[in-house]
Amino acid sequence: MQAQVKSMMFAIASVAAVSLFAGDREYSDAEIKAQFMFAGRCRHAEDMKSNYDWAFRMADGDTNRYARILRELAVENTNETEWAIASLGKYKTMQSLPFLYFYSTNAVYGAEALKSIFAIEGVTSNSVAATESYLMITNYMPPLVEYNRSELCESLLKKVYATSGLEHFREPCITMAVEYARSVSTMHQSLDMALMEVDPSYRFSRRRLSVMRLAQNRCWNTMLTNYVTNAINELVAYPEASLPD
C-alpha cells in the first residue's frame, strides 16, 4: 500500500513538473517580474540560478523581451534595480545600452551599469569616457559601493593591458586610474597594486608618492592607513629626490 502511494505521488509530481516546464502557455510581463523577484529571495546559489533561468524561459527565451522587462523592473522596484542592471550584461541586447549609459552616472548603480555596458559592447571610447565620469563622482559612497567602483577601475585597467587590440586605451586608462586614486578612491591598497601590476615603473615614481600622500586623508581603517604610511616611507627612503616622474 505504501509503495502504491509513493508511486502515485511520484506520478503526480512528474505530471506537475512536465506541466510547469512545458512552456505551453504565455506568461505576462508581471508574472515574469514576479518570478525574477522570487529568484532573488532564494538562499542557495543553485536555487537562485535555476529560478532566474526559469524567469528567462517564461519569456520564451526572447532576449529582447526579457531585457525590456528587466529594464522596467529596475525602474519600478528599487529592491531589484542593482541585480536587474547587472543581469542586462548577460543578455547583451543593444537596446539596453541607452538605459545602461543613463544609469552609469548613478553613484550607487553606476559600476553595475558599466560592467553590463562592457559586456555588451566591449571597451570603446564611449564606455571608457563613461567610466571616467563615474569614477570622478565625488558623492559619499558606502564602503561596499566604493569597493565596486574601485574594482571596476582595476578590472578595466588590467583588461586594456592584457588584451591585444586595446593598446591605444592603455595611456588614457592609466591616467584615469591615477587621477581616481589621487583624488577620489578610498580603496588605496587594491588600486595601488593594480597600477603597479600593469606599470612596474609606477612603484617608484613621484606620481605614486603624490597619490599616497593625498590618500592619507581618505583612509577609513587601520589596514589602509598602515599600507599608505608604509608606501610613503618606502618612497621617501628611495630617496625622494631621485624618484622618476
User: Are 156 and 131 in contact, with CB atoms under 8 Å apart?
Assistant: yes
Which 8-state DSSP code applies to residue 186?
A: S
Report d(CA 210, CA 208) in Å as an integer. 5
Residue count of the chain: 245
User: Are 192 and 208 in contact, with CB atoms under 8 Å apart?
Assistant: yes
All residues at 6 or more sequence positions from 153 whose CB lies less than 8 Å from its CB, including other chains: 131, 135, 176, 177, 180, 185, 191, 194
Distances 56 to 47, 63, 68 between C-alpha atoms, Å:
14, 8, 12
Question: pLDDT 10s digit of each residue in the chain, 245 long?
Answer: 444 434 444 333 333 433 444 456 899 999 999 999 999 999 899 999 999 999 999 999 999 999 999 999 999 999 999 999 999 999 999 999 999 999 999 999 999 999 999 999 999 999 999 999 999 999 888 888 999 999 999 999 999 999 999 999 999 999 999 999 999 999 999 999 999 999 999 999 999 999 999 999 999 999 999 999 999 999 999 999 999 99
Rounded (10°) CA dihedral 120, 124, 129, 130: 0
For every residue of 12-46, DSSP letters joined together read HHHHHHHHHHS--SPPPHHHHHHHHHHHHT-SSHH
Which 8-state DSSP code applies to residue 163?
A: S
